[in-house]
């Protein structure tokens, strides 16, 4: 089983939030592409719905007023230019369980 997704419609939905590799090759996506988009979602949540602003292929998003430095650090990591530097959802789950402390069990939920 592969971790890649294929866009068969040949159209881009919300190209502003696509990671650099998906803009370069708009047909293939990976779980690291999803991690990038998750970082954008976090930013939108912690800005209470502000619109994403891009400069070229690099996100230029300031730390949201409602995000802690730790949460913003997660966002910035999600937006790493190189997909391998973004980590995985499994790694994100561990980071969030560390931030949330005992209120979340890292073994609960999805694997």
pLDDT at residue 39 in the model: 93
Task: Name the pTM for this structure.
Answer: 0.74
Determine the 3-state secondary structure of 53 from DSSP. coil
In this prediction, residue 98 carries a pLDDT of 86
Helix axes 31-46, 69-78, angle to 10 degrees: 150
> For the chain, how long is the longest CA-to-CA vector?
44
Q: What is the DSSP letter of 110?
A: -
How confident is the prediction along the chain (111 residues), in pLDDT tens digits per residue? 445 444 555 554 556 677 888 777 766 778 898 999 899 899 989 999 887 665 554 566 889 999 999 999 999 999 998 999 998 999 998 898 888 776 666 566 655
Structure tokens at 17: 């939030």
Q: 2, 3, 7, 85: which is closest to 39 by C-alpha?
A: 85
Reading the block at residue 37, the tokens are: 């988009």
| Residue 89 pLDDT | 92
């Amino acid at each position: 089983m592969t971790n890649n997704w294929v866009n068969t419609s040949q159209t881009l939905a919300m190209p502003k939030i696509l990671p650099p590799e998906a803009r370069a090759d708009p047909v293939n996506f990976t779980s690291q592409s999803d991690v990038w988009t998750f970082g954008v979602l976090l930013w939108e949540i912690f800005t209470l719905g502000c619109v994403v602003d891009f400069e070229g292929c690099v996100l230029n998003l300031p730390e949201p007023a409602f995000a802690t430095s730790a949460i913003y650090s997660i966002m910035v990591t999600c937006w790493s230019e190189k997909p391998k530097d973004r980590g995985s959802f499994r790694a994100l789950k561990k980071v969030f369980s560390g931030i949330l402390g005992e209120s979340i069990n890292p073994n609960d939920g999805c694997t």
